[in-house]
Amino acid sequence: MSLIPDIRFATTSDEARRAVALGYCPVECSFGGRDPVVDELCLDHHGSLSHLEPVGVRCLRDHHGARADDPRFVVTGGADADACLAIAALLAWVTPDKRMRRVARAVARMDLTPDPIDVDKLPGQVLAAWLELNTYMPRELGFLWGALLWRRIGGHLDDHRWFSDGAVERRKSRYAAAAYQLKYMRRHTPELVSLVGSDGRGADPVVFHIIYQHAPLVVVLSSRARRITVGAKDRAAAEQLLGPGGLKRLWSRMGPGWGGREEVGGSPRDHDADLVDVDRAVAALIELIDEHRANRN
Ligand SMILES: [Mn+2]
């Protein structure tokens, strides 16, 4: 017997803080440039907390079942694999065994850098299945669905064929769809392309995998998640094109809430990104490339 969680979606940090004061557990509640809203579990890894690991892997290891008796959460932004796994682990909806911990580490890696190869190597194709079956429904529904998916999939690591066969087939067709999306790719410089996909799944790791065969720097708008991801093929490529710090130079130029690592990151979680943001990121990258080139000469 388990309770249906009470998930609140906050659109401002004040709203999130009010929920926390009532006892709701904040999971990845970052708003723009301000410090993330956290409680004693400290479940964020953005802004001033970017030194911490992603939240899913920490909840499974350190806080398993911590909110099983009080299933109230406050969230914001998109319902990604990391945030939803954190909620599922806090509810003890997944078992913290060796294989699930391995899945959680892969979720963490994927949260920090798109890596489609790892997804396919995981036990039972569970992360691949989660990514295929997640809906990214808006607001609290997305998080509820995502956490339920982890519960269903995570509880069936031994008996996974019912979903993994379907997931593998869908992934294959997604590679084909991603290749097709290249016709929407715009080239800005020899090193930089952008992609605003037709079906709104632009930020699919599969897409990055394919794009890096064409250019080392990419700006992608996922209209489904309403977020921009800026990626470099690897850290060396980012620093060669943009200078020491790589894309960190871009985050500071784009303004509050933009952030990430040297080779990958993107737009604020609480902001619905659009084409204007894509153009701004592209313009800033071209400037940075030119500046770094001028400095070297
Ligand atoms: Mn995360």
Span 211-237, pLDDT tens digits? 888 999 999 988 677 889 999 998 999
* CA 294 to centroid of ligand 1, rounded, Å: 36
242 pLDDT above the threshold of 50 = yes
* CA 168 to centroid of ligand 1, rounded, Å: 24
> Between β-strands 72-75 and 6-9, what pairing exists: parallel, antiparallel or unpaired?
parallel
* 156 vs 222, more confident: 222
pLDDT value, residue 207: 75
171 pLDDT above the threshold of 80 = no
* CA 226 to centroid of ligand 1, rounded, Å: 16
Per-residue pLDDT, averaged over 263-290, amounts to 92
* CA 57 to centroid of ligand 1, rounded, Å: 10
103 pLDDT above the threshold of 50 = yes
1 pLDDT above the threshold of 60 = no
Per-residue pLDDT, averaged over 22-29, amounts to 97
What are the domain boundaries of the chain?
A: 6-159, 181-296
Give alpha helix (H) positions in 79-125: 81-90, 98-112, 116-121
CA-based radius of gyration for the chain: 19
Per-residue pLDDT, averaged over 157-168, amounts to 67
* CA 5 to centroid of ligand 1, rounded, Å: 20
* CA 246 to centroid of ligand 1, rounded, Å: 21
Average pLDDT of the chain, as a whole number: 87
Q: Binning pLDDT at 50, 70 and 90, where does residue 205 land?
A: low
- CATH class label, 181-296: alpha beta
Q: Is residue 228 within a helix (H) or strand (E), and if so which, with residue range? A: strand 227-232
* 46 vs 239, more confident: 239
Q: Locate 95 and state its tokens.
A: 């078992």
CB-CB contact of 3 with 51 (8 Å): no
* 233 vs 166, more confident: 233
* CA 286 to centroid of ligand 1, rounded, Å: 28
* CA 54 to centroid of ligand 1, rounded, Å: 5
- Percentage of residues in the chain having pLDDT higher than 70: 88
* CA 88 to centroid of ligand 1, rounded, Å: 14
CB-CB contact of 195 with 185 (8 Å): yes
Contacts for 137 with CB less than 8 Å, ≥ 6 apart: 79, 145
Q: Cα(142)–Cα(147) distance, rounded to whole angstroms?
A: 9
* CA 136 to centroid of ligand 1, rounded, Å: 15
